[in-house]
Structure 1
């Protein structure tokens, strides 16, 4: 099969009786089967054809998660047209830029609120008659209108099968724009098909098993979109949720598979720990003792089954001694591990009753989160990729989960790690990661210069990420090459590991390490207001509170030190507390990554003050 639509249509025919989507309308769940979904796709496809959408046309699709999104997406792809998706929380300026820069001839908008937000400037880019709204808006074609147009056609008037080639463009996804204007990543049907082909078998979905996934990430984002394509191709049910209902749906919908970003797992972790801390002192102490026992046991099991993270070469003798120690610990801790498993059972029942695997991507998973969920028996699999690679590059496996890595490269994927001079580095050493494979983008739309900067003539993509290859072939992502901080002393500092470690603090909700061309490192910190109210009795509005400042200093010293693996110059010597948390669309991308350049610009006067500059 040469197109995404062909693969998913085949799945729709195979699993026609299965439910494909479950979603809320006015607070209540509705469901649709694969047969009903593809009937709507065919009608919408026909309707789009009647209003003039043809092969190779670009169609902007500005909407958040809803079943009409996937119907529109599949209909556009089936015509050989190219969709240009984006969420509604993007700024007016950004959406108008995308619509114009992408040369979109048509646009599908979610609702009247978005239409009003973009009017009248949108009409200068796309004609009114080519604007479709999913929800009815007076004077414009609606989603239902397009469906009805499609239903009205019978026989010879129906649009036939379009000849789509693997190398044809499927979508243009604009990057989150952490610096400057977003770039349009051109992904072909072949790019997306590789991810479906490579990732789907790793999900271990049994044919006809009616598995269920919970979808919270923006479906227009390539990470969630590809994950949905993969589960869709095996007849799974997609349940759309949101941040408000996520914890409730996680318990009551009981998904078997889920994909999230690290921030979601941090939220779940903090919910669990907050409840534990409200318990009586003895029960609380027993929980943390059992947690440490479980951590030690699971670490020993990983060593015995060769699932431990081995970065530097080890001699046979060292490996043997390590295995012997692990075996002794397993036997000694087994009875306590069984007790711990019983203690953690209520958590698993609430969070992961039927969950066989939870995927984390779109950012680095902090080691303490990785360790915690592994210890209580919840299988989190970290994956890695970029919008430019559709997105999958590597991922951990359900039956071979190597913690603190992003797993081995996916099938058909080549990787190399080079130093600053372009020479390969040995395993265990840090360098810039390059990737080559069928998932690598065609390029940036109308931006040859940016394309040539990251994609060479042999097809190797410079990811811009610093990585290490373990001795057993798993990748570890250290940070972004462009994020490296160079201190006045000439020392290079990677901010990501420091930020990950600081996120272990209950009082910190977000942190950005600063220090380019400075003597020491500083940090901009946002606070966990719930923790402040509960533990200190203050809110983040009271920034001058000496108790809060003292607590922050204690946390910085406790977490960033030589005992926890940091060098002396990596200590945080200065900090400033920000008056409010980071917001999506401002300091955060849609997948909750921090926009460093935006933060540095927004808080430049505060940063100068932090380092004692006037």
Structure 2
């Protein structure tokens, strides 16, 4: 067993344990932080900054509106479908203060995905952006949603700028399709109705569900992970314990390009940074690199939270490379494997090393992270305080140090279970609280851990295990490669054969022969891909994680069509 491996592995000043019961609920953390850091900036977007004091005032107005103008009761679910704009923290914390369970919803969801999530969660209310309201109009009659609040991008900006921004988005950029939701309430009207009214502050138990965070949509039906107040509090305290020594309370400026509705950004920016009173710069559209870079130039930012694809894209941007990085002291990576080439390039461009971490929706999300005092590139660091890890073989035996196996996690941040899916919960979470992650990992002698690959992404070539992460890491070092992905495709002789998809950097001409030569020179024979396909882009999730599953599905469809043609 590796249970006690990490007790002496934490840097000086970092506790091995945290007190997950330090606060009764998230509301208590919010109140304490907003009082303590009342005059400090909390969130900025489109040139407007909300202080912690203003955040508490606005969230209170929204909570009062919900309590006095709707029939919503504590424990009811409210879907929040917003990008990174100031309204997001206002409505999320307002909903929590009213005792509602927040259902984080991707604004880019299709009508089908919205319908599933709203019905599965039993959502009774929806907060959405006007840009997506036409989809709500289509979906809501098929759901139990009774209350709708609609907001426009510029609603919390000063009057003139609000009118200008909303008009440009609607009439010039034509980004708001027509919709008809006669009973919907405008967010600013809701805030006006709640402003000045007393809030009956909800006092949920720390074991009560705070957030339903949906996951697994790329591997089947999306399931709602029940994250309790204790889960979220534990993870914010764990993040603060392991990273706090490099962050000064009330002084840091953190760039927030990843969507707040995603658990990675939600916990770090809305939770951990709230605890430390720091300033989050909300990037509404990180895919618009010119606009993002222009925004970054306005701040002497000290922290940056991203993931591999974003680091690569930014380092290939001329304007980004010209920015002032003199204050940058913390860069965090998660959400997907960090490639060595991307880490080295980021360090070269910014002067700041990347601390890679690991987590999943079901763990609120952070499981481990590289301490900034001792970063090991290529690892996911050590478990955050109060967290145990072990690796198991296919028979469920602990393989110990140095051998690959499925990573299992136990700690106060592990979810309560999947919403109304006991069978799915039992498949991943045992009676002792150990969560099976589905990732293949190795625990090193020094306590640092390495993710070898997703268990289901592993390729089996003639009985040999091949891990796509390794192949992608190798190919990423070939000059001219912007993105790449490796999958296994059915093969009569070897069971599976390796196929790699490659996106070349703009203006670069790569050939199949160059790729094959590079791979043959860097991996053993059975790991060399059988097929190479060049593409203009690869399918990704909303946070930029490459979807190998979609690539596999495409290949299987091609194979099936070929077989049917042959039969005919």
- TM-score interval, normalised by the smaller of the two chains: 0.7 to 0.9
Tell me which residue corresponds to 1:67.
86
Q: Name the SS of the counterpart of 2:400 in structure 1.
A: coil
For residue 273 of structure 2, the aligned residue among 228, 231, 234 is: 231
Q: Deviations over 1:119-151 (max 9, x none)?
A: 2331231355x1111238764212112212212
By how many angstroms is 1:424 displaced? Answer: 1.5
For residue 436 of structure 2, the aligned residue among 455, 459, 462 is: 462
Tell me which residue corresponds to 2:14.
none
The question of 1:49 aligning with 2:70 is answered no
> CA 1:103/1:535 → structure 2, altered by over 3 Å: closer, same or farther?
closer
Contact 1:454 1:462 in 2 (8 A): yes
Tell me which residue corresponds to 1:601.
553
Q: Deviations over 1:167-205 (max 9, x none)?
A: 010000111511122111110000000111111131436
The question of 1:150 aligning with 2:194 is answered yes
Structure 2 counterparts to residues 195-344 of structure 1, below 5 A: 195-201=235-241, 202-204=243-245, 207-228=248-269, 229-241=271-283, 242-243=285-286, 244=288, 245-271=291-317
Contact 1:250 1:351 in 2 (8 A): no
Contact 1:261 1:362 in 2 (8 A): yes
Mapped partners of 2:340, 2:490: distance in 1: 26
Tell me which residue corresponds to 1:592.
544
By how many angstroms is 1:465 displaced? Answer: 0.4
By how many angstroms is 1:516 displaced? Answer: 4.2
> CA 1:212/1:471 → structure 2, altered by over 3 Å: closer, same or farther?
same
Tell me which residue corresponds to 2:225.
185
Q: Name the SS of the counterpart of 1:434 in structure 2.
A: strand
Tell me which residue corresponds to 2:140.
122
The CA RMSD measured in Å over matched residues stands at 2.5
Mapped partners of 1:460, 1:366: distance in 2: 29
By how many angstroms is 1:269 displaced? Answer: 3.0
Q: 350-359 or 474-483: which moved more? A: 350-359
> CA 1:516/1:426 → structure 2, altered by over 3 Å: closer, same or farther?
farther
Contact 1:485 1:516 in 2 (8 A): no
For residue 523 of structure 1, the aligned residue among 492, 499, 523 is: 499
Mapped partners of 1:380, 1:102: distance in 2: 36
The question of 1:165 aligning with 2:165 is answered no
Mapped partners of 2:75, 2:105: distance in 1: 19
Contact 1:203 1:398 in 2 (8 A): no
Tell me which residue corresponds to 2:33.
11
Q: Name the SS of the counterpart of 2:398 in structure 1.
A: coil
Tell me which residue corresponds to 2:149.
132
Structure 2 counterparts to residues 19-34 of structure 1, below 5 A: 19-24=41-46, 29-34=47-52
Q: Deviations over 1:558-597 (max 9, x none)?
A: 1x23x53x2210001212334x423xxxx32222223333
Contact 1:250 1:352 in 2 (8 A): no
The question of 1:38 aligning with 2:56 is answered yes
By how many angstroms is 1:607 displaced? Answer: 5.6
Tell me which residue corresponds to 1:554.
514
Q: Deviations over 1:358-406 (max 9, x none)?
A: 0000010001222344456312100100000000100011112122111
By how many angstroms is 1:521 displaced? Answer: 2.8
Q: Name the SS of the counterpart of 2:217 in structure 1.
A: coil
Give the structure with the larger helix fraction: 1
Q: Deviations over 1:492-532 (max 9, x none)?
A: 2112211232233424533232234453633252433x53x
Mapped partners of 1:270, 1:145: distance in 2: 44
Structure 2 counterparts to residues 105-120 of structure 1, below 5 A: 105-111=124-130, 113-120=131-138
By how many angstroms is 1:40 displaced? Answer: 0.4
Mapped partners of 1:53, 1:6: distance in 2: 21
Contact 2:40 2:250 in 1 (8 A): no
Structure 2 counterparts to residues 330-369 of structure 1, below 5 A: 350=323, 352-369=325-342
Mapped partners of 1:11, 1:445: distance in 2: 30
Tell me which residue corresponds to 1:577.
534
- Can you give the 5+ residue segments of structure 2 that lack an aligned partner in the other structure? 1-22, 156-180
Tell me which residue corresponds to 2:397.
423
By how many angstroms is 1:470 displaced? Answer: 1.2
Q: Name the SS of the counterpart of 2:317 in structure 1.
A: helix
Contact 2:246 2:372 in 1 (8 A): no
Q: Name the SS of the counterpart of 2:219 in structure 1.
A: coil
> CA 1:507/1:258 → structure 2, altered by over 3 Å: closer, same or farther?
closer
By how many angstroms is 1:152 displaced? Answer: 5.6
Mapped partners of 2:551, 2:45: distance in 1: 35
Mapped partners of 1:48, 1:466: distance in 2: 45
Contact 1:22 1:240 in 2 (8 A): yes
By how many angstroms is 1:421 displaced? Answer: 1.6
Mapped partners of 1:114, 1:609: distance in 2: 36
Tell me which residue corresponds to 1:286.
none
Q: Deviations over 1:65-111 (max 9, x none)?
A: 11111111111112221010112111110011100110111111111
Tell me which residue corresponds to 2:17.
none
Q: How many residues align?
A: 506
Mapped partners of 1:605, 1:58: distance in 2: 38
Mapped partners of 2:554, 2:247: distance in 1: 49
By how many angstroms is 1:253 displaced? Answer: 1.8
Q: Name the SS of the counterpart of 1:238 in structure 2.
A: strand
Q: 456-465 or 135-144: which moved more? A: 135-144
> CA 1:163/1:208 → structure 2, altered by over 3 Å: closer, same or farther?
closer
- TM-score (normalizing by structure 1): 0.78
Q: Name the SS of the counterpart of 2:191 in structure 1.
A: helix
Mapped partners of 1:83, 1:371: distance in 2: 38
Structure 2 counterparts to residues 370-409 of structure 1, below 5 A: 370-374=343-347, 377-409=351-383
Mapped partners of 1:403, 1:209: distance in 2: 29
